[in-house]
A and B are shown apart, each in its own frame.
Chain A
Amino acid sequence: MPLTRLETANGPVWVRAPYRPEDYTAPQDALHLFERWQRDDVESSQALLTLRDGPFGNYVEVGRQARDGKTWLVLLEASREFGVEVETRRSGFGKVVAIEPRRAYELAVARDPLRKLPVVA
């Protein structure tokens, strides 16, 4: 859910609306985009996320997990604040799954102290 900017007497702040699952649900087209990069003729997963001319620049890595002998990146879309987990590969992405909305919300809130403007409810 995008934060909205509010001008106050003490300067601008970001406003976080009350939690609603639909605001933090990963859209199908976002998952599909990662799936279309499940290929072996491109950079590693990590490198794809940092391409200056790629489509993943708005995803922020907020965690990393090891499961079943594989490494998964936990990504948060920086503006819409939905989350996805992608399996890392030496070339391209592996599996991609949506993060449950409540967890995406918590990951987004965890970044609030890092933002340049205060976040208010």
Chain B
Amino acid sequence: MKERFTLRVAILVALAALCATASYAAGHCPVSHQPLPSAAQRQFLPPVKLLGCFMTPEEINTVRSAIGHDAQVTATDPAFESGELNPDGSMRPPLTASQFAALIKMHSVLAEDMRNGAVIRKFIQNSDIGGFLYGRTVIGSPSAPIVVTTNTVRGFVGLERNTQGLDAGATVGALGLDFETTPLGQYTDATADPLLRQVSLEIRTHGLHSIRHIMVTQGASDAKIPLGKDLNDTVQASAPTLIGRSFEMNRQGQTNPYTALGISHNLFLLTLDPSDPPTATYPLHLNEEDVMTVPTPLAVGDVLFRRKTNGQETPIARYIRGHNPDGTVTNRWFLSQSLSAADKAYYRGLLQQAAARVAAAGG
């Protein structure tokens, strides 16, 4: 039974991967029959539009249906048992053969755009902005603080296209940014009973911030799709174009928002639009998430953006080469000259707070 299922998955996945790659020879989208988008155009196409070139609506819906399924049935270590549970303690169902195939096909389409020159966004908590602007921050426990530089991009990242054109609230919903269940969080605020999440007061007040970074070859190579064991094993066995683009990362903790599917979780975040019904939530936007398996350096020209709940996006600072008083040259953030006086005061305040924390930690 198990072997027949595995064989069916392998055949489906192989066919799906073949469909996703062979279509390039034809010059037209195999499904939508539109002209194939160029590599440059793909960087700015919302994932669901790009997927529509290669995948049927049914296949895309199958990807969506995979949310909440267990991608690590074959993980054997007790450390990951809690990751097989839903927040309410029930078991997550295993992925179906068609979900395996649709997910692999989706990743086969989207993965090739993480390359040299790819435009990515790294969303950061507002509490981290000062440390970025200052160039150093304090990490570690209060009893053993460590002062470190903040000149890299690390952790979860994604292509800019994943949230292009979305406002701050829709972006938080689309990316499933941090599963906060406290009354006041950096990305979301929540009520306990019933558990309802809304865009945080912090974001509504100060906006959502992200670093726009252009990938170099090494960084693109180090950005990998995190997948649960079942899905990652399927990649290794049946999807040669994805080998080297993914790594095994299993889910731990039943309230963890990490899906292990290489896509973001649906937070069921309440919308901010007062004309929506009170329980309306932001839609799930399909995307592909990556993890920087090694930090990649910030690059001259990177920009720190602020995205507001009305969709307005403002460049806050640019990472450029600057001359120091002692004649040396270093790369650092410079606040935009076009910021309002109030904005300048806000960001300088964050920078000064970061400097004080670093000084207090002996940095």
B249 near A58: Cβ-Cβ < 8 Å: yes
B229 contacts the other chain (Cβ, under 8 Å)? yes
**Is chain B's interface secondary structure helix, strand, loop, or mixed overall?**
mixed
A113: nearest chain-B partner, CB-CB: B78
B291 near A54: Cβ-Cβ < 8 Å: yes
Measured in the bound complex, the distance between the Cα atoms of B229 and A60 in whole Å is 15
A37: nearest chain-B partner, CB-CB: B294
- Cβ–Cβ < 8 Å partners of B252 in chain A: 57
B76 near A41: Cβ-Cβ < 8 Å: no
B61 contacts the other chain (Cβ, under 8 Å)? no
B294 near A44: Cβ-Cβ < 8 Å: no
For window 27-55 of A, CB contacts with B under 8 Å fall at: 33, 36-37, 39-44, 47, 51-55
Given the interface pairs A40-B148, A58-B248, the reply to whether A114 lies near B293 with Cβ below 8 Å is: no
Measured in the bound complex, the distance between the Cα atoms of B251 and A52 in whole Å is 9
B249 near A2: Cβ-Cβ < 8 Å: no
Measured in the bound complex, the distance between the Cα atoms of B153 and A15 in whole Å is 41
For window 245-300 of B, CB contacts with A under 8 Å fall at: 247-250, 252, 256, 258, 291, 293-295
Out of A5, A54, A55, A78, which one reaches B77, CB within 8 Å? Answer: A78
- Cβ–Cβ < 8 Å partners of A51 in chain B: 155
- Cβ–Cβ < 8 Å partners of A6 in chain B: 2
Give a binary string over B79-107; 1 marks a CB under 8 Å from any A CB, 0 the rest: 11100000000000000000000000000
- Cβ–Cβ < 8 Å partners of A111 in chain B: 77-78
Measured in the bound complex, the distance between the Cα atoms of B82 and A116 in whole Å is 11
B146 contacts the other chain (Cβ, under 8 Å)? yes
B140 contacts the other chain (Cβ, under 8 Å)? yes
23 contacts between A and B (CB under 8 A): A5-B74, A7-B1, A37-B294, A41-B148, A42-B148, A43-B139, A43-B140, A44-B140, A44-B146, A52-B256, A52-B258, A53-B156, A54-B291, A55-B224, A55-B247, A55-B294, A58-B250, A78-B77, A79-B75, A79-B76, A111-B78, A115-B76, A115-B78
Give residues in A with beta carbon < 8 Å to B: 2-7, 14, 33, 36-37, 39-44, 47, 51-55, 57-58, 60, 78-79, 90-91, 111, 114-117
> Can you add 9 more A-B contacts, CB < 8 Å, to A41-B149, A44-B146?
A7-B1, A36-B294, A43-B140, A44-B144, A51-B155, A58-B248, A78-B76, A79-B229, A79-B250
